[in-house]
């Protein structure tokens, strides 16, 4: 069976983990956490970054920093992972779901505009498959209505919008290093803080509501409880694994992009010989090759395709279920129908994409997909 994902292991991960253990500090903010922070701030130009235990935690920190209160409204896409909105629901927010484009799973800014009210306290956008949302349009809305924008860039490391790194444009950017992402640490995340006024409080929230970070810098004589917070910082063992990955990000990205391009070239025949859609990368966005997917005609066709691939030893998967129709939120949702989100829920299928996927395996997967659609050439 060709797996859907296989975590990438370069080799230096174990060396660096051994180093941090030998150094005698494996808790948070050790030597490799600092190396990771320096990498992101130098390489991508983020004002301030903080490693977290997950992208979910980074989003929860953003919700606390924005002082989200019960009854506040937060606009977000319905076609996303639950963490995108759960972080704000935990603060008591009312989630206002927006639809995707008809030809791309990203949130449609025109839909956002229709949903803004005096109670809107944040706009959360997701760069689906590492492809940028229309950030000029979204940031214009944020500026016009004085609403902070949070970029859920879980899939978008090394992705750019008009030359700007994704995660650097909104008030906050959040990243994931889950084993299914381009750069991994098993679990782990990152909060990018792009507005300086939030930096000091972010450090406090991340350290259980204490000013412990300031204490270690010698800025205060002792530290204590000064705000709400939680334990959001990861072990330096996680950071050690992550740093080895960051050192190899260029090689990892080159290979992933090669695989993505091979998929596209082999499967573009589907565009003319079937009603299947392939991924679209807008002119304002780069492609970080996080994901290659197909959009089938309907649920029945997608289910049959996934089963056909499974029967031929290929593990393909569907993706998100519309959150406005979820078991938890369905009874709470009183907004408009979101037909595009529901369409992707029923029709999108993700293909295997990982560093060690061979050209021969890609060829085989594409052959089986074309067989299914009766368009082999």
- Is 4 within a domain? no
Q: Which whole-number Å values give the CA distances from 162 to 132, 230, 261, in the listed order?
A: 9, 35, 21
Q: Are residues 83 and 124 in the same domain?
A: yes
Instruction: Specify the number of domains making up the chain.
Output: 2
Summarised one tens digit per residue, pLDDT across range 282-292 is 999 999 999 99
For position 287, which CATH number holds? 3.90.1150.10
Q: Give me the pLDDT at residue 209, please.
A: 87
Q: Are residues 166 and 257 in the same domain?
A: no
- Is 347 within a domain? yes
- Is 145 within a domain? yes
Question: Long-range contact list for 163-166, CB < 8 A, 24+ apart?
Answer: 164/135, 165/44, 165/45, 165/46, 166/127, 166/130, 166/132
For position 40, which CATH number holds? 3.40.640.10
- 247, 264, 298 — which closes off a domain? 247
Q: Are residues 238 and 254 in the same domain?
A: no
Q: Give me the pLDDT at residue 217, please.
A: 77
Q: Which whole-number Å values give the CA distances from 5 to 104, 140, 219, in the listed order?
A: 23, 37, 45
- 217, 247, 277 — which closes off a domain? 247
Q: Are residues 161 and 32 in the same domain?
A: yes
Q: Are residues 222 and 205 in the same domain?
A: yes
Expressed as residue numbers, the domain containing 347 is 249-372
Q: Which whole-number Å values give the CA distances from 109 to 101, 105, 114, 284, 292, in the listed order?
A: 9, 12, 9, 15, 24
- 247, 267, 283 — which closes off a domain? 247
Q: Are residues 64 and 160 in the same domain?
A: yes
In the DSSP assignment, the letter for residue 356 is T
- Is 377 within a domain? no
Residues of the chain with pLDDT under 50: none
Q: Are residues 59 and 144 in the same domain?
A: yes
Cα dihedral 104, 107, 110, 115 sign = positive
pTM here? 0.96
Instruction: For residue 277, give the nearest of 79, 78, 102, 100 by alpha carbon.
Output: 102
Summarised one tens digit per residue, pLDDT across range 111-152 is 999 999 999 999 999 999 999 999 999 999 999 999 999 999
Instruction: For residue 151, give the nearest of 130, 135, 174, 129 by alpha carbon.
Output: 174
- Is 2 within a domain? no
Q: Give me the pLDDT at residue 20, please.
A: 95
Q: Are residues 143 and 276 in the same domain?
A: no
- Is 81 within a domain? yes
Q: Are residues 262 and 206 in the same domain?
A: no
- The answer to whether 69 and 60 are in contact (CB under 8 A) is no
Q: Give me the pLDDT at residue 212, please.
A: 83
Q: Are residues 211 and 253 in the same domain?
A: no
- Is 84 within a domain? yes
Q: Are residues 142 and 182 in the same domain?
A: yes
Q: Give me the pLDDT at residue 244, please.
A: 98
Q: Are residues 167 and 271 in the same domain?
A: no
Tell me the C-alpha distance between 70 and 72, whole Å.
Answer: 6
């Amino acid at each position: 069976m060709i797996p859907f994902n296989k975590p990438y292991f370069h080799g230096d991960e174990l060396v660096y983990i051994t180093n941090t253990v030998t150094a005698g500090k494996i808790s948070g903010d050790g030597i490799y956490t600092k190396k990771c922070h320096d990498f992101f701030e130098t390489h991508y130009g983020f004002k301030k970054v903080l490693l977290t235990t997950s992208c979910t935690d980074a989003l929860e920190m953003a919700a606390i920093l924005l002082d989200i209160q019960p009854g506040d409204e937060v606009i977000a896409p319905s076609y996303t992972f639950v963490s995108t909105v759960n972080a704000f629901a935990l603060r008591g927010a009312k989630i206002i779901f927006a639809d995707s484009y008809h030809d791309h799973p990203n949130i449609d800014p025109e839909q956002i505009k229709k949903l803004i009210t005096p109670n809107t306290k944040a706009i959360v956008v997701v760069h689906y498959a590492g492809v940028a949302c229309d950030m000029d349009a979204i940031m214009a809305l944020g500026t016009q209505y004085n609403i902070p924008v949070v970029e859920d860039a879980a899939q978008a490391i090394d992705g750019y919008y008009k030359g700007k790194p994704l995660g650097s444009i909104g008030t906050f950017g959040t990243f994931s290093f889950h084993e299914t992402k381009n750069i991994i640490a098993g679990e782990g995340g990152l909060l990018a803080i792009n507005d300086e006024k939030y930096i000091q409080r972010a450090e406090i929230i991340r350290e259980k509501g204490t000013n412990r970070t300031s204490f270690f810098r010698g800025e205060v004589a002792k530290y204590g409880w000064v705000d709400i917070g939680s334990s959001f910082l990861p072990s330096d063992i996680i950071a050690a694994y992550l740093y080895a990955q960051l050192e190899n990000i260029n090689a990892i990205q080159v290979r992933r992009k090669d695989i993505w391009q091979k998929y596209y070239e082999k499967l573009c025949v589907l565009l003319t010989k079937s009603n299947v859609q392939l991924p679209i990368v807008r002119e304002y966005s780069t492609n970080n090759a996080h994901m290659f997917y197909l959009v089938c005609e309907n649920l029945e066709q997608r289910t049959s395709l996934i089963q056909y691939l499974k029967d031929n030893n290929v593990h393909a998967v569907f993706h998100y279920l519309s959150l406005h129709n979820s078991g938890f939120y369905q009874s709470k949702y009183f907004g408009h129908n979101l037909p595009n989100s529901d369409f992707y829920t029923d029709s999108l299928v993700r293909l295997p994409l990982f560093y060690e996927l061979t050209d021969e395996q890609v060829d085989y997967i594409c052959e089986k997909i074309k067989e299914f659609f009766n368009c082999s050439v």
